[in-house]
């Protein structure tokens, strides 16, 4: 079965073609990726300091067809070879989601093939199965994106138990907001992480919110506020020496990353401990973060569990994860596929 995947929940237009044959015959899942196209709108939104929903929707419309052509060419396939269309149903920006949904359903109507709506986070959650070392079910998943921070117990495809989640900002959101406070461009997660590498540990001992809350929930808005307070105190000193300012930013970035990683690490360790799982999966945009990866790898070595990541290019939003999750869902529950019809995006 060849599944077309469409991702348009936020500021990336992703299109991909996935062949289920390798997966069905027990070969590495990544062999099923036949073609893909991805366009990031980051440069377009940067001037506004965040995603502008109307601009995002318009750009998805502009990009989706050329990206489909690109994917078909890479896969050496024709439209008629596609057996089903998977699209991101939510969560995300309503207008952006509608572009993907309308496109998927119109195409499926024309081709007389089924569509399947995919939960964006399920796409992230299953993407480590496309990596070089696939996790075994059941596993614990730490989902850390710009919109979500969740710990899940993944019993099987489609069987997910939410262990805990953020009560306010998502980890990626905390990265982006803190990056902005330190003068970095949107989305600043990766740049903040690089800046932290240059900083000294220990200068700023920032709060580690809910570290000992006894549950699997997170809170990051206080951490961001702690950074803001430090910035205000520093600005009040009117220091103009460029080296000193740069060092301050790097040290504060370091303090932020260390605090955030400490909380994500401890809660993930606890989830592994409590569920008895052997495998931990890290997914979502923040899964690209080096410091978090290093901390989880060191812990896994110490405590005897293994950590699995999506290939780095599949950490942030993309069409492959939607095609893949849709394909697995269709294989698992044949009747999960819905015929083209109503508009049913789920922004929340």
199 interface partner picked from ligand KG4, Zn ion, none, CB below 5 to 8 A per type:
none
Quote the tokens at residue 279. 């495998």
Residue 243, annotated as binding a ligand:
no
Q: How far is CA 296 from CA 8, 134, 165, 232, 276, in A?
A: 30, 16, 18, 33, 17
Q: How far is CA 173 from CA 14, 124, 177, 186, 189, in A?
A: 21, 17, 6, 10, 8
Examine residue 145 and tell whether it contacts Zn ion (CB under 5 A).
yes
Q: Which of 317, 326, 329, 345 binds Zn ion (CB under 5 A)?
A: 317
CA dist., res. 229 & res. 207, Å (int): 12
Radius of gyration of the chain (CA): 21
Yes or no: say if 226 and 253 are a contact pair by the CB < 8 Å rule: no
Nearest residue to ligand KG4 by CB is 285
Of the candidate spans 49-57, 58-66, 96-104, 312-320, the one that interacts with Zn ion by CB under 5 A turns out to be 312-320
- Compose the 193-232 pattern: x for residues touching ligand KG4 by CB under 6 A, - for all others: x---------------------------------------
Is the Cα dihedral 241, 246, 251, 253 positive or negative?
Answer: positive
Cβ closest to Zn ion, residue 150 vs residue 178: 150
Examine residue 146 and tell whether it contacts ligand KG4 (CB under 6 A).
yes
288 interface partner picked from ligand KG4, Zn ion, none, CB below 5 to 8 A per type:
ligand KG4
Which residue's entry shows tokens 């990626």?
Answer: 172
CA dist., res. 332 & res. 22, Å (int): 15
Examine residue 176 and tell whether it contacts ligand KG4 (CB under 6 A).
yes
Of the candidate spans 34-42, 126-134, 196-204, 278-286, the one that interacts with ligand KG4 by CB under 6 A turns out to be 278-286
Quote the tokens at residue 294. 């290093």
Of the candidate spans 80-88, 96-104, 180-188, 316-324, the one that interacts with Zn ion by CB under 5 A turns out to be 316-324
187 interface partner picked from Zn ion, ligand KG4, none, CB below 5 to 8 A per type:
ligand KG4
Query: Would you list which residues are annotated within the binding site for Fe cation?
Result: 120, 124, 317
Binding residues vs Zn ion (CB under 5 A):
145, 317
């Amino acid at each position: 079965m060849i599944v077309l995947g469409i991702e348009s929940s936020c500021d990336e237009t992703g299109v991909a073609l996935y062949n289920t044959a390798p997966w069905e015959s027990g070969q590495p899942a990544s062999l099923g990726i036949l073609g893909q196209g991805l366009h990031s709108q980051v440069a377009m939104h940067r001037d506004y300091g965040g995603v502008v929903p109307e601009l995002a929707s318009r750009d998805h419309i502009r990009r989706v067809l050329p990206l489909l052509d690109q994917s078909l060419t890479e896969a050496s396939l024709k439209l008629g070879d596609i057996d089903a269309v998977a699209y991101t149903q939510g969560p995300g920006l309503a207008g952006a989601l509608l572009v993907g949904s309308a496109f998927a359903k119109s195409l499926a109507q024309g081709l007389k093939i089924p569509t399947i709506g995919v939960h964006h986070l399920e796409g992230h959650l299953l993407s480590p199965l496309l990596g070089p070392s696939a996790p075994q079910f059941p596993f614990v998943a730490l989902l850390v994106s710009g919109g979500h921070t969740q710990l899940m117990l993944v019993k099987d495809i489609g069987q997910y138990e939410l262990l805990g989640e953020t009560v306010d900002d998502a980890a990626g959101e905390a990265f982006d907001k803190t990056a902005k406070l330190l003068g970095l461009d949107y989305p600043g997660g990766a740049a903040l992480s690089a800046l932290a590498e240059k900083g000294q540990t220990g200068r700023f001992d920032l709060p580690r919110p809910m570290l000992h809350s006894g549950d699997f929930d997170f809170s990051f808005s206080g951490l961001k506020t702690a950074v803001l307070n430090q910035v205000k105190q520093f600005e009040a000193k009117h220091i103009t020496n460029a080296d000193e300012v740069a060092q301050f930013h790097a040290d504060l970035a370091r303090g932020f990353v260390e605090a955030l990683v400490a909380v994500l690490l401890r809660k993930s360790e606890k989830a592994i401990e409590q569920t008895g799982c052997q495998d931990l999966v890290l997914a979502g945009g923040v899964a690209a973060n080096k410091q978090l990866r290093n901390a989880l790898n060191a812990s896994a070595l110490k405590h005897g569990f293994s950590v699995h990541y999506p290939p780095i290019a599949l950490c942030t939003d993309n069409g492959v994860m939607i095609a893949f999750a849709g394909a697995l869902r269709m294989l698992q529950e044949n009747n999960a596929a819905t015929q083209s019809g109503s508009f049913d995006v789920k922004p929340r």
